[in-house]
């Protein structure tokens, strides 16, 4: 199987369109991460619902002609997908790199005591709005917050909430009968954590609706259940009641059971599910220990269509700019 690759600058110390400057030390860390134990994925506009379309490899830190620094790396794009059958008999597509079998970078599998909320500051028009949003959450539950930055042309409003002890409780129910699940005690602490989680989500949805930008784009919530495999429950909604009801233990259980089966049969390290309009969780795709991507054919098709649309828009803008500059004054 062949792959398509290109060598290009992936980051530099020049000021970017987000008015951000990356230090030389941060660029060194990026190059080290790309060359490390886990592979960095290539996506489409940082949309987490799309399967990765390739890997970033072989990074080097190089000086530029104007005295700055840049990271140059190879971007390998997967070839056409191969059709396979999932353990439940449904059809899936698989893509992988024949030259790089590293698994993709994964999040922390540890069960922290509290929640971890990850936010992209680019989703807020001002630092003040970002601060106000954080303050709206602090009354609901204790949490650790992290920032992450998406170098995207259009960064849709997105929030990641990682479970703490709730995740351990949910995994403890998997593989048990209904009677056995009923015997798994719901401690007062877990009960309180669940109540805090639902309150946190409702405040987050209200805050994102009021403060996040762009206003005309869908809001994406990623509920991360740590463990092995790591499970991401992704919801695109502004309906807080629907989201919280979909996170009841009995509604999450089928997704976790499927994820465990995919780990045992296909070596899944990460499994993603997307919330449907009914509040049920539908399998999207998984990542494996050998760096393969396996998912629903529809998600691969949507990814490719989105990429084509972006390329067409960029080409149209470039043509319009050339026509403008070529026009006689």
What are 88-137's pLDDT values in tens digits? 999 999 999 999 999 997 655 555 667 889 999 989 999 999 999 999 88
- Phi, then psi, of 4 in degrees rounded to 5: -105, 135
The token duo for 64 is: 């530029």
Q: Which residue ranges make up each domain of the chain?
A: 4-105+298-326, 115-295
**How confident is the model over 287-296, as pLDDT tens digits?**
999 999 999 9
Q: Say which residues have a Cβ less than 8 Å from residue 27's Cβ, sequence separation at least 6.
A: 11, 12, 13, 61, 69, 70, 71
- Phi, then psi, of 171 in degrees rounded to 5: -65, -30
- When the pLDDT of each residue in the chain is averaged and rounded to a whole number, the result is 88
Question: How sure is the predictor about 141, in pLDDT bands with cuts at 50, 70 and 90?
Answer: confident
What is the structure's pLDDT at 113?
65
What phi-psi label fits residue 169: left (phi over 0), alpha (psi between -120 and 50 degrees) or beta?
alpha
Give the least confident one: 33-37, 178-182, 266-270. Answer: 178-182
Question: How sure is the predictor about 2, in pLDDT bands with cuts at 50, 70 and 90?
Answer: very low
What is the structure's pLDDT at 314?
80
How far is it, in rounded angstroms, from Cα 202 to Cα 154?
Answer: 25
Whole-prediction pTM value? 0.88
How far is it, in rounded angstroms, from Cα 221 to Cα 224?
Answer: 10
């Amino acid at each position: 199987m062949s792959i398509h690759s290109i060598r290009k600058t992936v980051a530099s110390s020049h000021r970017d369109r987000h008015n951000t400057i990356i230090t030389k030390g941060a660029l060194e860390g990026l190059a080290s991460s790309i060359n490390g134990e886990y592979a960095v994925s290539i996506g489409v506009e940082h949309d987490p619902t799309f399967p990765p379309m390739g890997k970033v490899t072989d990074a080097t830190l190089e000086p530029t002609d104007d005295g700055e620094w840049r990271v140059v790396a190879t971007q390998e794009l997967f070839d056409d997908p191969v059709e396979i059958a999932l353990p439940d008999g449904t059809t899936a597509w698989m893509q992988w790199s024949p030259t790089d079998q590293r698994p993709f970078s994964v999040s922390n599998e540890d069960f922290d005591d509290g929640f971890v909320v990850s936010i992209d500051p680019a989703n807020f028009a001002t630092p003040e709005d970002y601060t106000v949003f954080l303050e709206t959450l602090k009354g609901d539950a204790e949490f650790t917050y992290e920032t992450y930055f998406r170098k995207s042309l259009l960064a849709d409003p997105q929030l990641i909430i990682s479970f703490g002890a709730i995740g351990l409780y949910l995994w403890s129910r998997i593989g048990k009968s209904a009677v056995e699940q009923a015997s798994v005690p719901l401690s007062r602490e877990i009960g309180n954590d669940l109540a805090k989680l639902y309150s946190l989500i409702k405040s987050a949805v209200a805050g994102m609706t009021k403060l996040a930008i762009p206003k005309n784009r869908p809001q994406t919530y990623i509920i991360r259940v740590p463990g092995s495999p790591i499970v991401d429950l992704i919801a695109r909604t502004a309906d807080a009641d629907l989201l919280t009801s979909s996170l009841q233990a009995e509604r999450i259980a089928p997704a976790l059971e499927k994820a465990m089966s995919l780990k045992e049969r296909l070596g899944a390290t990460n499994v993603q599910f997307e919330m449907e309009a009914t509040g049920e969780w539908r399998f999207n795709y998984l990542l494996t220990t050998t760096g393969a991507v396996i998912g629903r054919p529809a998600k691969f098709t949507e990814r490719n269509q989105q990429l084509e649309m972006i390329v067409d828009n960029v080409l149209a803008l470039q043509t319009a700019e050339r026509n403008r500059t070529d026009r006689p004054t």
